[in-house]
Structure 1
Amino acid sequence: MKTLYYGLLSAALLAAGPVAVAQKAPAKAPAKKPAPAAAAAAPAKPKETPPPGGTPRDFTLPAKEEFTLSNGLKAQLVPYGEVPKVTMMVAIQAGNVHEAANEVGTADLLAKLLREGTATLSASQLADKIARMGGSLEISAGADQTNLWASCLSEYAPELAAVLADVVQHPTLPESELPRIKADFKRQMNLARAQPGTQARQKFAAALYGNHPYGRPLPTDAEIDALTMAQVKAFYQNQYGARRTAIFVAGKFDKAALRDAITKAWSEMPQGPAPRIEVAKSQIRPDVTTLDRPGAPQSTIVIGLPVVDPSHPDYMRVRVMNSLLGGSFGSRITRNIREDKGYTYSPYSYLETHYRTGNWSQNADVTTQETGNSLKEIVYEIEQLQKTPPTAEELKGIQNYESGLFVLRNSTPGGIIGQLNSLNLHGLPDSYLTEQVKNINAVTPQQVSETARKYVRPEAMTIVVVGDKKIIDPQIKKFQASRKKAL
Structure 2
Amino acid sequence: MKKLNILASLLMLSSTLFAQVDRSKMPEPGPAPDVEIADYKTFELKNGLKVFIIQNDKVPRVSFNLIVENDPILEGDKAGYVSIAGELIGEGTTNRDKDSLYSEIEFIGGRLNTSSNSVFVSGLSDHSDKLMELMADVIKNPSFPEDAFNKLKKQSISGLKANKNDPGAISRRVRKALLYGKDHPYGEVETEESLENITLDDCKNYYNTYFKPNVSYLAIVGDIGKWKAKRLVKKHLKDWSKGEVPSHEYETPTPPEKPLVAIVNRESAVQSQLNIGNVIELEPGNEDVLPLKLMNKILGGGSTGRLFKNLREDKAYTYGAYSNFSQDELIGYFNASANVRNEVTDSAITEFMTEFDRIIENPVNSEELGNAKKYISGSFARSLERPQTVARFAINTARYNLSDDYYSTYLKRLNAATPDDIQRVAKTYINKDQPTILVVGKAADVASKLEKFGEIKYYDTDGNEVEAPTLYENPEGLTAKKVLNDYIKSIGGKENIKQIDNLKWVQTATMNGRTIEIANYYAAPNKSKTTVSMMGMNLMDETFDGENMSRKLQGQKQPVSEDDLQDAKINNNLVPEIAYIKNKEVELELLKPQDIDGKMAYQVKVIMPSGKERFYFFDSETGLKVKETGYQEGPDGESVAQSTEYLEYKEVKGVKFPVKVTIPLGPASAEAKTKVIEANIEMDKSMFEVN
Q: TM-score, normalised by structure 1?
A: 0.82
Aligned to 2:167: 196
Does residue 76 of structure 1 match 2:49?
A: no
Matched length: 426
Deviation at 1:279, TM superposition (A): 5.3
Partners of 2:266 and 2:83 in 1: CA distance: 29
Segments of 5+ residues of structure 2 without an aligned counterpart are 1-22, 456-691
Partners of 1:326 and 1:398 in 2: CA distance: 11
Aligned to 1:288: 261
- The residue type paired with residue 353 of structure 2 is V
Deviation at 1:436, TM superposition (A): 1.6
- The residue type paired with residue 124 of structure 1 is D
Deviations, residues 332-384 of structure 1 (Å, cap 9, x unaligned): 11111122112111222111233242111101111221111111111111111
Aligned to 2:376: 402
- The residue type paired with residue 157 of structure 1 is S
Does residue 258 of structure 1 match 2:232?
A: no
1:264-283 correspondence runs (5 A): 264-274=235-245, 276=247, 278=249, 281-283=252-254
Aligned to 1:299: 272
Does residue 128 of structure 1 match 2:100?
A: no
Aligned to 1:60: 36
- The residue type paired with residue 319 of structure 1 is K
1:417-428 correspondence runs (5 A): 417-428=391-402
Higher RCO (CA < 8 A, seq sep 6+): 1
Does residue 440 of structure 1 match 2:414?
A: yes
The 8 Å contact of residues 87 and 151 in structure 1, kept in 2 or not, is answered as yes
- The residue type paired with residue 93 of structure 1 is E
The 8 Å contact of residues 158 and 257 in structure 1, kept in 2 or not, is answered as no
Aligned to 1:244: 215
Deviation at 1:473, TM superposition (A): 0.8
Aligned to 1:468: 442
Whichever structure has more strand as a proportion of its residues is 2
Deviation at 1:261, TM superposition (A): 0.6
User: Which of these residues, 198, 205, 225, is aligned with residue 196 of structure 2?
Assistant: 225
When residues 409 and 239 of structure 1 are mapped into structure 2, their CA distance, relative to the original with a 3 A threshold, is same
- The residue type paired with residue 304 of structure 2 is G
- Is 464-473 or 430-439 further displaced after alignment? 430-439
Deviations, residues 122-178 of structure 1 (Å, cap 9, x unaligned): 21111122112222112223xxxx122221111222322221111010111112322
Aligned to 1:350: 324
When residues 416 and 191 of structure 1 are mapped into structure 2, their CA distance, relative to the original with a 3 A threshold, is farther
- The residue type paired with residue 101 of structure 2 is L
Aligned alpha-carbon RMSD (Å): 2.3
Deviation at 1:277, TM superposition (A): 5.2
Partners of 1:55 and 1:193 in 2: CA distance: 52
Aligned to 1:92: 68
User: Which of these residues, 265, 277, 290, is aligned with residue 316 of structure 1?
Assistant: 290
Identity of aligned residues (%): 27
Segments of 5+ residues of structure 1 without an aligned counterpart are 1-48, 482-487
- Is 335-344 or 184-193 further displaced after alignment? 184-193
Deviations, residues 38-60 of structure 1 (Å, cap 9, x unaligned): xxxxxxxxxxx9x9888654432
User: Which of these residues, 297, 314, 318, is aligned with residue 340 of structure 1?
Assistant: 314
When residues 90 and 70 of structure 1 are mapped into structure 2, their CA distance, relative to the original with a 3 A threshold, is same
When residues 205 and 60 of structure 1 are mapped into structure 2, their CA distance, relative to the original with a 3 A threshold, is same
Partners of 1:453 and 1:353 in 2: CA distance: 17
The 8 Å contact of residues 89 and 417 in structure 1, kept in 2 or not, is answered as no
When residues 471 and 427 of structure 1 are mapped into structure 2, their CA distance, relative to the original with a 3 A threshold, is farther
- The residue type paired with residue 295 of structure 1 is S
Q: TM-score, normalised by structure 2?
A: 0.59
Deviations, residues 404-446 of structure 1 (Å, cap 9, x unaligned): 2222333323343344444444333343322222211111012
- Is 188-197 or 219-228 further displaced after alignment? 188-197
Matched position secondary structure for 2:323? strand
Matched position secondary structure for 2:320? coil
Deviation at 1:278, TM superposition (A): 3.2
The 8 Å contact of residues 220 and 229 in structure 2, kept in 1 or not, is answered as no
Aligned to 1:378: 352
Whichever structure has more helix as a proportion of its residues is 1
Deviation at 1:194, TM superposition (A): 3.5
The structure whose Rg is larger is: 2
Partners of 1:194 and 1:93 in 2: CA distance: 34
Matched position secondary structure for 2:318? coil
1:24-43 correspondence runs (5 A): none
Deviation at 1:192, TM superposition (A): 4.1
1:144-159 correspondence runs (5 A): 146-159=117-130
The 8 Å contact of residues 155 and 253 in structure 1, kept in 2 or not, is answered as no
Does residue 411 of structure 1 match 2:382?
A: no
